[in-house]
Structure 1
């Protein structure tokens, strides 16, 4: 860490660019899926856009740079507008993490193109910058994909689990949701994250990268 920030000053440009792209696409995916499923709430509030200003929460973004944990502006969704509330809510919740996985896939393809061909005519510092940016974007989007699937409120994984549960259990989950959110904050903001969150990343990130490699590498052989 350099001074005030969690990341080094050399890493900051790559982290900031990657976060802006990842958060913007993630929240747009929620908004677009909700719109296609029949809910115009996000669209009417100007969230169906790739403009980062509509999705980035300044405090949430700053906290990521300082403590490594933060958030974007949640997309408003009114499930009463869905003809099939449970199914469409699951699709909306899953759209965000899946968008990060797709960014990771696309980024990995670009890394293969960059390393295996001369389609990107860069050398020296330019090549180093592109390689570092793509590597950071790959890693960060995989982390966001896994992180948002954790079954803690208010993450997307919890919303999916909630909509998969029978109505009787879902009602109880909603009743105790605030306690779950507090527990989640305690985990991620204390040393407990070393025993709960980091082991998931330590196993999950290499697994996803290896899976993407198996999908992409045959295309360049």
Structure 2
């Protein structure tokens, strides 16, 4: 198997990731119990830490699928350790996605793993490597919304419910954006192996600008409305209401919390 050539240390979970998990657990507990004097602070830390965890799992899914597809180089690059600092640049991988969440409540696709595609054989394997990341966001969204679609919200504290709803919104936006068949995004990576060589060569120069193009389009009111209508439709299908996601975002921005969310039982 390809994993036999990976050193044990290349697969050891990074202490950095363990630390982020610990922050997620502690702040999740603080959100659930109301331990923090300002619940918004706990929600902010919980959602931010959980979002970074999802970014790590997204990139790990790419790397793990690539490993089983034949690219054993992902081990030496540290991609299997779940260390967010290994996924390209810290600014692009962590800082910018968190800033976009704070500014607009959008799950910006984070860092990337560099797969040596020449080691991978078969178009289906290439497509699966690209799809593995956003599918992780889909799974994360399903888990976050489980209390909603299972109708198991009895006993779930209000702030924790709001935090889960907003975290689910981030996962859904990230999944939809990543699955767009735009050069530079995972969706294009899914379809690229099935395109002709000439088409791939023509689209290749646009890859560095694909994400910028998508976010430029999101500033167009009509495009923005269509995008968030799709996000809302997915969240409603998962049992999550607009009010929960709205209050989750407001609590996340604890410095500007809406009084309606603060007094709602």
Give the shorter-chain TM-score range: 0.7 to 0.9
Given that 2:131 and 2:186 are in contact with CA atoms closer than 8 Å, whether structure 1 keeps it comes out as: yes
Q: Is the 8 A contact 1:18 1:136 kept in 2?
A: no
What is the deviation of 1:141? 0.9
1:196 aligns with 2:213: no
Counterpart check, 1:89 vs 2:121: no
1:61 matches 2:97: yes
Please give the alpha-carbon distance, in whole angstroms, between the structure 2 residues aligned to 1:12 and 1:62.
11
Q: Does 1:99 align with 2:136?
A: yes
| CA separation of 1:101 and 1:180: change in aligned 2, threshold 3 A | closer
How do 1:25-64 residues align onto structure 2 when only pairs under 5 Å count?
Answer: 25-55=57-87, 57-64=93-100
2: distance between equivalents of 1:66 and 1:134? Answer: 16
Pairwise CA RMSD: 2.8
Any unmatched runs of 5+ in structure 1? 1-7, 117-121, 214-221
Task: Report the number of matched residues.
Answer: 193
Establish whether residue 208 from structure 1 lines up as the match of residue 234 from structure 2. Answer: yes
TM-aligned CA distance change 1:177 to 1:115, over 3 Å: closer
Tell me, which stretches of 5 or more residues in structure 2 are unaligned? Answer: 1-39, 240-265
Contact kept in structure 2, 1:142 and 1:205, CA below 8 Å: yes
1:171 and 2:209 correspond: no
CA distance 1:182–1:132, change in 2 (3 Å): closer
Q: Write the distance in 2 (CA, Å) between the matches of 1:161 and 1:25.
A: 22
Match of 1:19 in 2: 51
Q: TM-score, normalised by structure 2?
A: 0.62
**Equivalent residue number for residue 77 of structure 1:** 115
Q: Secondary structure, in 3 states, of the residue corresponding to 2:114?
A: coil
Task: Choose 158-167 or 57-66, whichever is displaced more.
Answer: 57-66
